[in-house]
Structure formats: structure tokens, C-alpha cells
Amino acid sequence: MIARIVIAVVVVMFIRITCHLRRRHSKIGSVENPGNGKEVVMNIGGSNVVFLVEVLRQVINNFSEDNILGRGGFGVVYKGELYDGTKIAVKRMKSVAVSSKGMKQFDAEIAVLTKVRHRHLVALLGYCINANERLLVFEYMPEGTLTQHLFQWGENGCSPLTWKERITIALDVTRGVEYLHSLAQQSFIHRDLKPSDILLGHDMRAKVADFGLVKICLMGTTGRVTTKVDVYAFGVVLMELITGRKALDDTMSDEGSQLVPWFRQILINKENILNAIDQTLNPDEETMESIYKVVELAGYCTTRESYQRPDMGHVVNILSPLVEQWKPTCHEEEHTHSIFHGEEDTYGIDPHMSLSLTLGKDDK
């Protein structure tokens, strides 16, 4: 008799627990919009959302041309707004790219972005897989890409970037990439760092995007791509920030069309540098001292031998004092955005020390 009662109690408790878990799963598992009955299904295994394709079609106006933010080799990026007012950027893979290679890039981007979270990496909010449709949903960056502000500012109705904005953007990028290289749970290599993959917020603070080509870095292996590939690419970005020129410019002569070899030639003396910098900067003497240090850093980052390039942590150490201690001219204060919010880094280095000595400071 007692055994039957115990069994009955256990069965009742099991049924109650099962029903409770199902109700809880239902609440967490879907967010329904009362207006149209569409569901956005949550991925219980992580913090990202699996969106229904119908929902995304609606919030980006059925992939309207008017919603396009940009295009790339991977596909098209659209602007949208969710039912709660959250603005999003939706990357749609090209239909022809839904191949084994394209799917690897899609899977790689999801795999990396579900593992890394950093204030200077664009956050993945969710994704959608439906037949041949592959969509990634990201946080929306309202000021667009660095490309737009560096090379297309006139046609976009923007003011040219000030030097303060440029070195702050550079520092933001180094912090994001440093996290990928050495501070995340695994070490990752971006492999495709360029101005179009650097996105800007309202405050002109930067975040790194586009992780379709990211690779896990196997520490200690030889004959493989290393994190120094990203350091080189970042050095090229520094050159673009300094000169206002693209890495490859078909409008220039053959000798000047490639930025890196052209830039190496101007490193010979300061007079060359003065003539090579972006003329919209109109730098004073104090600004030029900051520019000279970044020019030197760009040279170190793009040395031919990868082992001679600094780690991203060293690059952060160099740029951080320049951002914190350098003050804009009155002209820049009128035009610059509020891009610095009191972040402080104490690295125990002398900002007046030469770059070569600073880079060697940790090499014992």
C-alpha cells in the first residue's frame, strides 16, 4: 500500500515538473508579436535568437533596395527595425554563395560571434536558416563604415575625420582585435581587417565586423597563418587613416597605386611625411608629433618579416597614451564628436619614449 502511494506521488510530481518545464520552454522559446502572430524563436543553447525568415522579410521591407546599407563579396546588408524599436543590420548571403564554401563562412561567423563578446566587436543578435536563405542579424551601427567617413565623406555630406577621431578609432580597433588574439576563450585571427569592416556608432567609436574568414589560431604551429597577419592589415589601416588614401587606388600611377610601398618611401624623412598626410587634417605642431608616432607604428606593423611586427597588445600600449594625452586644437573641438568618455588605461609606459624602446620594453 505504502509503495503504491509513493509511486503515485512520484508520478504526479514528474507530471507537474514536466508541464512546468514545457510552459517555461514555451515562454522562453518564442516571442510573439500580437500584431501579426509572427514568432521569433529563441535559441535556448545560447544568447542569440533564431529569427523566422518571415519576420526578417517584414522588418527590412522584403529586402527592399531602400533598406540596403552596403554590399560585399558575401552578400548584401540591410537595415531593419524590430517590433520593439531595436534597429538591426541584416546580412543576407548571396544565393550563389550557398555552397560548401559559402556555408563554411556562414557557419564560421556564427561560431565565432557566439563565443566572443567585446565592446569593440559588432555583436551578433541572431540568425536565420531557411531553405537557401542564410541571414545574420547584427546590432546596427548608425554611422556606417570607416570607408564612408575616410574616403567618401564629401559625397555623404560628412565632415572629414579629425585626427582625434582617427586615432581613437584606431585604438578601438586594436582593442577589439587584441581581444580576438589573446583575451577571448580561444585565439582567433580576423584575416580580412580593412576600413569597410570597421563600423562606427553615434559617438564615432569603432567596432570590428565581418567574421566570415576568421580562423582559430593554433598556438605554436608553424607554416600557418598567425595573428601577425592582422597586425599587418592594421598597419595598412593606419596608413589609410594618416594619408586619406586607399590601400589600392586605380586612379593613381603605377608607382603610387599601392599604398604600402609608396608609404615606405615617405618614411625616409619628416618632410615627406608632412606632404603625404591627409590635407584635410591641417595639423599644427602638436598634432604632427602625434602623427609622426603613428607613422612609425604603421611602419613597424607592416614590416616584411612577421616576427618583427608588434603584438596587438603592444599596439594598444602605443596608441592609448596618444588618445589620452593628446588634445585637439580649437578647430577640432568644434567639429569632433564626443568620442572619449573617460576610459583610462594605465600601462606604465612613457608616451615620450621612442616606439622601438617601448616595443622592446616587455621583451626580457
Query: Which has the closest alpha carbon to 236: 204, 176, 186, 194?
Result: 194
Please give the Cα distance from 327 to 9 (Å, whole number).
Answer: 73
Residue-by-residue DSSP string for 116-182: ---TTBPPEEEEEEETTEEEEEEE--TT-BHHHHHTSTTTTTPPPPPHHHHHHHHHHHHHHHHIIII
Please give the Cα distance from 219 to 231 (Å, whole number).
Answer: 16
Phi-psi region of 153 (alpha: psi -120 to 50; beta: other; left: phi over 0): alpha
Cβ proximity of 264 and 257 under 8 Å = no
Please give the Cα distance from 175 to 198 (Å, whole number).
Answer: 12
192 belongs to the catalytic site = yes
Residue 195 one-letter amino acid: P
Residues 6+ apart with CB under 8 A from 350: 358
Classify residue 33 by burial, with Cβ atoms within 10 Å: 0-12, 13-18, 19+.
Answer: middle
**39-42 and 49-51 strand pairing:** antiparallel
- Report whether 91 belongs to an annotated binding site: yes
The catalytic residue among 192, 203, 249, 311 is 192
Cβ proximity of 338 and 203 under 8 Å = yes
Please give the Cα distance from 36 to 17 (Å, whole number).
Answer: 32
Please give the Cα distance from 50 to 311 (Å, whole number).
Answer: 36
Please give the Cα distance from 170 to 319 (Å, whole number).
Answer: 8
Q: Output DSSP code: residue 327.
A: -
> Three-state SS for 66?
helix
Active-site annotation, residues: 192
Binding residues for ATP: 91
Binding residues: 91
